Amino acid sequence: MFKEYKKIKSLIEDQPLYCGLDISKVIAYDLITVCYNQFSFSKVTLFKGLFVYDLPKNVSVDVLYSIGAFGDRKDYIEIMDYVRNQIGEKNTMFLNFNLLKKVVYIKPKNGKKAFKTIFKLPLNFKSKLYLFSQLWFYLNLYTKLQESNHSVKKYVSFSSVQPWGAVLSLYYKQKGITTYSLQHGLYFVYNESIPIDAIAYDNLVSDFHMAWGQYTVDEFKKYGVEEKLLKVAGYPRSIENTEQRKTKIKVKSIIVFLARKQFQHSNLKVLEVLKEFNSSSYKIALKLHPNLDFDYYLSLTNLYDFELVSKNETISSILTKSIYDLSIAVNTTVYYESYIYNVPSARFKDNSFSLPRGVYDDSFKTLEELKQVISFFENISIDEFNLKVKEELAYIMGVDIGNYKKIILNLN
């Protein structure tokens, strides 16, 4: 699927620029969702090309921030708020596309370009129709930007990989404005079973990518990204109540962080492993990814005699309560956050996804392997645990590194 995406994207890259715009970078994210059959098509989508976001006009700021229309992702907003607070400039604006209205905007020229670009691609009709409508909509956004009279000195995108950030980044780069893109997960290069997440390093658009830790920089360099474009900025969340662990690890209660719905089969596999535990020996609770079906998993927890954590509980609130002795992570960076809060973590593995660098050799596939991981943690010295966790989290996650203000404001 990734090879198909790369092949089709190259066909778009070979086409001439449109008003100075590299369309392949704008449509890349939607294209990869088509190639992985993870797109949603509706009648509303069909008419998107007749609308545009109602952007504010006559903006004059030192730093413009933006985040795409990701829905109600409070965790994403937390990252944006953290970075904005770190930089601390007063003359700024935060553009949240999720809150912007769409207005009628008829631009036949953009529709014609979108049609000519998409309908020559080797895709089925439904995929072409979807990409045509999406691209027309994004070209309208680009045209609207040109009309909006923005005066901006620096631009920071939540993600220039996705179309909202890509359009704005390309527009401001054309105007000679330095652009930056944040990171909202642990990015690394996949060597096998390449998922849709590989778009994170294949479609870098901004002048600079602000990585969490040196690990992502080293990974992106493997893929051919120039090191000068990569900046180690640090883990973009406030960390509280994280003194080093003082007590020996003894596992009695386990919190399980499940993956998004694309990895439902992996979630179910780990639950099958865990149901073999003696419920009288271990208390097990599940924390769902936001896009999982809460009612479905509630029925499973009743069946397996597990607990289900409330939707309103955040990762940090769960891990700071000190009620769980071990976390289990299914294809999620919450694995690292668990270590940040001194809760050792075990990673479930199967053949459907690649695992990045771990803090320890703490992955498992079977109940016996999980028991071995638990035994390892229960027998490790606290001093050794604390030292190892500190070193790995600094390298992988950028914990205790705070370079956002220095990078964006060019401070030495």
Residues 208 and 98 in one domain: yes
Q: Which residues contact 208 (CB under 8 A, 6 or more apart)?
A: 178, 179, 180, 181, 229, 230, 231, 407
CATH number at residue 24: 3.40.50
Which sign does the torsion angle of CA 52, 54, 56, 62 carry? Answer: negative
| 77 within some domain | yes
Q: Which of 357, 359, 349 is nearest to 380 (CA)?
A: 359
**Is 122 exposed, middle or buried, given 0-12, 13-18 or 19+ CB atoms closer than 10 A?**
exposed
Residues 275 and 194 in one domain: no
Vertex 214: Cα angle to 337 and 329 (nearest 5): 25
Residues 25 and 139 in one domain: yes
Which three-class secondary structure state does DSSP give residue 60?
strand
Residues 152 and 273 in one domain: no
Q: Which of 212, 157, 155 is nearest to 181 (CA)?
A: 157
The C-alpha atoms of residue 403 and residue 386 are separated, in whole angstroms, by 24
| Domain housing 316 | 253-379
Residues 295 and 232 in one domain: no
CATH number at residue 298: 3.40.50.2000
Number of domains in the chain: 2
pLDDT in tens, the chain (412 residues): 889 999 999 999 999 999 989 999 999 999 999 999 999 888 888 899 999 999 998 899 999 999 999 988 888 999 999 999 999 888 999 999 999 999 999 999 999 999 999 999 999 999 999 999 999 999 999 999 999 988 999 999 999 999 999 999 999 999 999 999 999 988 888 887 788 999 999 999 999 999 999 999 999 999 999 999 999 999 998 886 567 888 889 999 999 999 988 889 999 999 999 988 866 688 999 999 988 999 999 999 888 889 999 988 888 889 888 899 999 999 998 999 999 999 999 999 987 888 899 999 999 999 999 999 999 999 999 999 999 999 999 999 999 999 999 999 986 5
| 394 within some domain | no
| 277 within some domain | yes
The C-alpha atoms of residue 304 and residue 324 are separated, in whole angstroms, by 19
Q: Which residues contact 117 (CB under 8 A, 6 or more apart)?
A: 12, 15, 18, 23, 27, 135
Residues 40 and 110 in one domain: yes
